[in-house]
């Protein structure tokens, strides 16, 4: 039936997404090209790589290229897998820039990917005038070919240089950058039923907002932590100590998790089919200040947390979270 075909397409696209995660290395290219008659393609690619190296820090690919790729039909299949939905609670007005701060990270931030790196959930219908990019780690752009895959999705480097380039209101407006501030540390707290956010000491994004004049927008991805089971790793445990040490060394975390497979429901790398509802809150007003004081950063950080908690509390029951559940900030 058509529903079974759509389901298989959704699973296949999910597998393809996971296959594109940073597990490929230049060694793969060597095995495919270096020792064949096509090795000249490898040379041409690395010439291009050198020429295009700074693009992730200079706004990424053009708006037209990104929109073309994001609106391809395959992204609708991927969004339908969970399914994933994007909900707008306030307008993002033109004439400003926005820093969309997303929580939680989850094992992999599928909510961010489906709602902001693709057009599968209606991003261009909900925010037609705003050019939205997704910020990610610099290392994502160091893997050959994968970097182009990322750039086609509208991703950019999460460095200070990159964020300033896109968000400085003294240079341009109508831009938005999506940032998952909890990052690798937050992934280690991703367990079904949990709402633990690494946020108390994450204040760099607030400083960026003040320096650029970008409005801070809280975003919560309900259902994100339901997609995988993770081996219990409470803070203070031996496993968590090892994971924290490896995170400091590698720059990314190594959660031990389990999802489902393409042909089974109990084991594998694919996420489980659980609904994701990404809710975009109201912007927190920010006035541009190229040299903010620590007190100003602290005040805006507190104001942002209040806005995030308000967004969570206003929507949690609607998306299946008990009324008395609260965010836990660490």
CA distance 75 to 116: 11
Q: Tokens 């306030």 map to which residue?
A: 90
- 294-315 helix and 204-212 helix, angle to the nearest 10 degrees: 110
Q: How confident is the model at residue 12 (pLDDT cuts 50, 70, 90)?
A: low
Return the pLDDT at 263: 85
Return the pLDDT at 138: 93
Average pLDDT, integer, range 178-193: 97
CA distance 94 to 101: 18
Return the exposure string of 25-36: e unless at least 16 CB atoms fall within 10 Å of the residue's CB, then b. Answer: eeeebeeebeee
Average pLDDT, integer, range 60-71: 97
The pLDDT of residue 272 is above 90 = yes
The pLDDT of residue 177 is above 70 = yes
Say which residue, 96 or 266, is predicted with more confidence: 96
Return the pLDDT at 19: 45
Average pLDDT, integer, range 215-220: 99
Return the pLDDT at 6: 57
Cα Dmax for the chain: 64
Q: How confident is the model at residue 22 (pLDDT cuts 50, 70, 90)?
A: very low
Q: Which of 108, 104, 62, 64 is nearest to 82 (CA)?
A: 108
Q: How confident is the model at residue 143 (pLDDT cuts 50, 70, 90)?
A: confident
The pLDDT of residue 13 is above 80 = no
CA distance 162 to 180: 15
Mean pLDDT of all residues in the chain?
91
Q: pLDDT, tens digit, for every residue of 157-170?
A: 999 999 999 999 99
Where do the domains of the chain lie? 2-329
Q: How confident is the model at residue 46 (pLDDT cuts 50, 70, 90)?
A: confident
Average pLDDT, integer, range 221-249: 96
CA distance 133 to 59: 8
Q: What angle do CA 220, 63, 18 make, to 5 degrees?
A: 55
Return the pLDDT at 34: 60
pTM: 0.90
Lowest mean pLDDT among 72-76, 109-113, 280-284: 72-76
Q: How confident is the model at residue 23 (pLDDT cuts 50, 70, 90)?
A: very low
Say which residue, 30 or 115, is predicted with more confidence: 115
Contacts with 187 (C-beta within 8 Å, 6 or more apart), sequence order: 105, 106, 107, 253, 255
The pLDDT of residue 1 is above 70 = no
Return the pLDDT at 232: 97
């Amino acid at each position: 039936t058509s529903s079974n075909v759509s389901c298989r397409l959704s699973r296949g696209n999910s597998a393809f997404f996971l296959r594109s995660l940073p597990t490929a290395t230049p060694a793969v290219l060597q095995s495919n090209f270096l020792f064949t008659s096509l090795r000249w393609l490898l040379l041409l690619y690395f010439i291009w790589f050198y020429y295009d190296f700074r693009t992730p820090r200079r706004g990424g690919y053009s708006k037209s290229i990104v929109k073309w790729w994001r609106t391809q039909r395959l992204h609708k299949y991927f969004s339908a897998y969970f399914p994933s939905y994007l909900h707008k609670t306030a307008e993002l007005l033109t004439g400003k820039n926005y820093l969309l701060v997303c929580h939680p990270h989850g094992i992999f931030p599928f909510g961010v990917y489906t709602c902001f790196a693709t057009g599968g959930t209606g991003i261009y219908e909900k925010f037609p005038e705003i050019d939205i990019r997704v910020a990610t780690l610099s290392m994502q752009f160091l893997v050959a070919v994968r970097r182009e895959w990322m750039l086609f999705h509208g991703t950019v480097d999460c460095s200070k240089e990159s964020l300033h380039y896109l968000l400085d209101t003294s240079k341009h407006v109508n831009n938005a950058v999506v940032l998952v501030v909890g990052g690798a540390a937050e992934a280690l707290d991703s367990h079904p039923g949990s709402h633990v956010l690494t946020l108390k000491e994450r204040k760099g994004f607030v400083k960026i907002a003040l320096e650029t004049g970008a409005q801070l927008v809280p975003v919560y991805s309900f259902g994100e932590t339901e997609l995988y089971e993770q081996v219990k790793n409470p803070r203070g445990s031996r496993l968590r100590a090892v994971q924290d040490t490896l995170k400091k060394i590698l720059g990314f975390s190594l959660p031990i998790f389990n999802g489902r497979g393409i042909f089974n429901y109990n084991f594998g790398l694919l996420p489980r089919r659980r609904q994701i509802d990404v809710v975009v809150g109201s912007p927190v007003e920010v006035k541009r200040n190229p040299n903010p004081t620590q007190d100003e950063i602290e005040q805006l950080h507190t104001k942002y947390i209040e806005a995030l908690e308000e967004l969570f509390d206003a929507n949690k029951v609607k998306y299946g979270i008990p009324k008395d559940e609260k965010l836990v900030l660490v």
